[in-house]
Structure 1
């Protein structure tokens, strides 16, 4: 009974910590809204980061219940900040102090300052290494999800029904029709049954498979099933199922959410020694430029570590910046909210050196992402996940609201003066002129 009670208390405490982190994240945008209140956002010749900050501030007050939300946030912000600062300092403080010479006390004060002046929550303080003096000087140039995934991306989204990028079945079919190489969908399960699928299969193929929800992102609820021969498949936990048993399992799962079966793709052989067997991908950001054409602006290469079957950055994977001209990668790190990994030039499992390598098929990767964006004419900005296979590049999926954290972390600096910031500000301004706000 005692052990069970302890377990319940532990789960409750972890749940509270997750809630506290999310709550701090939600209310931490208030200082930015206050700092830029009353500032115009349509004037020309202001830095793109300033423009996006001002746009966020203007939109904050226009939200339904905006003043009430601000009042509630003003009351809860100190509490949320205190809880978040405690959580992230306890995780990072001592080791960061040992590495950088910045004391734990100064880290605490730094988190409060960044939150109060720039709406940068403790989550981002450690991710962007703002304890370092050179990073702190650039704090105003960082773009957070407040401005991007929030108002900016919302304004730039196409009209409902313009395309089905978030639907993996629609996406695969559209890419096929458009002549774009993308991972196909082999089977679709919904409502407890296998559903008819254009170009799909009646039975699971005798090959390695990847199972994922029809909608969703971030690597959640995805499974890899490796073919063992004799009609049997094995997952990462060692479970072995027959073809019929696996199909029954997927049918049961689909009672709550639609599930898809896709072929498991294999990395280019040059990437085998810096992978745990999971597919390594490039997150390549494209945005429409002043001429209305898709332009590649940033790229990050991701590697899975541990037992993860996905390379998602927010699921503990490593990421490194990619030089757009050459495809050369550098040192890598995880998301940075725990200090264990740090920055490294070798893979933590294989020990293979990756810093300085040139990714295979790089020109193909770049061309494919830009060409795929042109097949989605209503999209302004997209984050493409692109795999490098033995015989070329392949699109895995497109993200209509791409997170910029991975690029600012991997590039070890803000994007506020970069090309993507300039293009986002330009497109927001054009949308406002067109009366889309």
Structure 2
């Protein structure tokens, strides 16, 4: 039961090596986007201001990494294009008739022209010409994660609200104190101790690192009688053993304990086991009031996976913001078996055309939650839909846009979200030579 300890150590090591800076540098985007022709589109405004700030914000060592990364971009691009062509090329050839060599060459072309790394060529289906011609309108992980979100937070001084979003126990307490429906914290374990030394209840439980992301380190424990629990793999442990396991986990990083919730009965056939959630993105508009701009419904498809994360092998479907209706579901698009689904691949339940219950309340809850963190420009809300209504699970200070753009097959740069991000980037960093939105 100690595998999650090692995952935590590896993640902390990876963060110390600044992988986001390396990915950003190897993409070539901080250089290429400054060389692209100027236009007044929201996407290009975000690209250019991001690239400029990379150089202005970076210290000497970071700028040196950006220069070195630009120099190493072509070799890295050649290697990555070869790897992903081998991984996904045969599937795309069957779908489109486009040869693997042609796909490989297109990855090099779009990479050198726009700074798009090969995984996103397949994720966003740039092998389709009508989508590839809009490549400059997409917003990429290399500029959002540890990019524009961090830049805006530093400029706006979001220290307190950022810490509340990172700390799941503090987040739950803050939302509960302000009257919002949120998954309650049963216990917090840190430094080998459980706060208050409480006894774990005889209920289905969910453990997660208090500052974890992406489902890392999460585990699910089903109550099996008054004094036993079952792990996802069927391992049966006593309450005392599970308590000791929690204490051991917390020696490396703090953990939060929550109840494991069941989804609304109308959508239980859309999961293979873990709790499905809505990812609702809200962004401050020009009047500093939050607007919902995108929503996707994330569905686990393996009984062995305890989270619904897109990057953990789940599928997701775009949600119509007005009606709550689901579109076609998909995975990340990065394997030989990737495809689009009208029915859930595990349960067989219909996905397309389904309407999520309590939908207006879901959107209202996300907007209300954002008002509790008013200095954050954009937040991604994970919201569970329970029998009695929506319930906040957590807020994400750097919402992933891959899932939004993949499921909608359209770029965020020319969406309402792109317009608002461009507005805030210009307010913070522009010399005001660009026409205001």
For normalisation by structure 2, the TM-score amounts to: 0.89
Q: Which residue of 1 aligns with 2:49?
A: 55
Inter-CA distance 50–434: structure 2 relative to 1 (3 Å threshold): closer
Q: Which residue of 2 aligns with 1:228?
A: 224
Structure with more relative contact order (C-alpha pairs < 8 Å, separation 6 or more): 2
Q: Which has the higher helix share?
A: 2
Distance 1:22 1:90 in 2: 25
Distance 1:49 1:150 in 2: 18
Q: Which residue of 2 aligns with 1:9?
A: none
Does residue 361 (structure 1) correspond to residue 358 (structure 2)? The answer is: yes
5 Å matches for 1:204-353? 204-306=200-302, 307-353=304-350
Using the TM superposition, give the Cα deviation of residue 218 of structure 1 relative to its aligned residue in structure 2, in angstroms. 0.1
Q: Is this contact kept in 2: 1:212–1:260, CA < 8 A?
A: yes
Using the TM superposition, give the Cα deviation of residue 85 of structure 1 relative to its aligned residue in structure 2, in angstroms. 1.0
Of 46-55 and 150-159, the range deviating more from structure 2: 150-159
- 1:64 counterpart (47, 56, 59): 59
Distance 2:85 2:203 in 1: 46
Using the TM superposition, give the Cα deviation of residue 343 of structure 1 relative to its aligned residue in structure 2, in angstroms. 0.5
Using the TM superposition, give the Cα deviation of residue 24 of structure 1 relative to its aligned residue in structure 2, in angstroms. 7.8
Distance 1:339 1:289 in 2: 40
Q: Which residue of 1 aligns with 2:4?
A: none
Distance 1:95 1:202 in 2: 52
Using the TM superposition, give the Cα deviation of residue 96 of structure 1 relative to its aligned residue in structure 2, in angstroms. 1.0
Q: Which residue of 2 aligns with 1:176?
A: 176
Q: Is this contact kept in 2: 1:23–1:80, CA < 8 A?
A: no
Distance 2:66 2:226 in 1: 62
Q: Which residue of 1 aligns with 2:120?
A: 124
Q: Which residue of 2 aligns with 1:185?
A: 185
- 1:27 counterpart (25, 28, 37): 25
Q: Is this contact kept in 2: 1:25–1:121, CA < 8 A?
A: no
SS in structure 2 opposite 1:402? coil
- Number of residue pairs aligned between Structure 1 and Structure 2: 408
SS in structure 1 opposite 2:142? coil
Q: Which whole-Å deviations, capped at 9, do the CAs of 1:154-209 have from their partners, x for residues lacking one? A: 1222432345210011101101111111101101111111123xxxx821111101
- 1:372 counterpart (369, 373, 397): 369
Structure 2: which 5+ runs fail to align?
A: 1-16, 433-437
Q: Is this contact kept in 2: 1:304–1:318, CA < 8 A?
A: yes
Distance 2:132 2:431 in 1: 37
Q: Is this contact kept in 2: 1:24–1:77, CA < 8 A?
A: no
Inter-CA distance 97–25: structure 2 relative to 1 (3 Å threshold): farther
Using the TM superposition, give the Cα deviation of residue 25 of structure 1 relative to its aligned residue in structure 2, in angstroms. 3.5
Q: Which residue of 1 aligns with 2:8?
A: none
Q: Is this contact kept in 2: 1:172–1:184, CA < 8 A?
A: yes
For normalisation by structure 1, the TM-score amounts to: 0.89
Does residue 195 (structure 1) correspond to residue 195 (structure 2)? The answer is: yes
RMSD over aligned CA atoms reads 2.1
SS in structure 2 opposite 1:330? strand
Distance 1:114 1:32 in 2: 15
Inter-CA distance 135–434: structure 2 relative to 1 (3 Å threshold): closer
Q: Which whole-Å deviations, capped at 9, do the CAs of 1:286-318 have from their partners, x for residues lacking one? A: 001011111000001000011211100011100
Using the TM superposition, give the Cα deviation of residue 402 of structure 1 relative to its aligned residue in structure 2, in angstroms. 0.5
Distance 1:359 1:48 in 2: 31
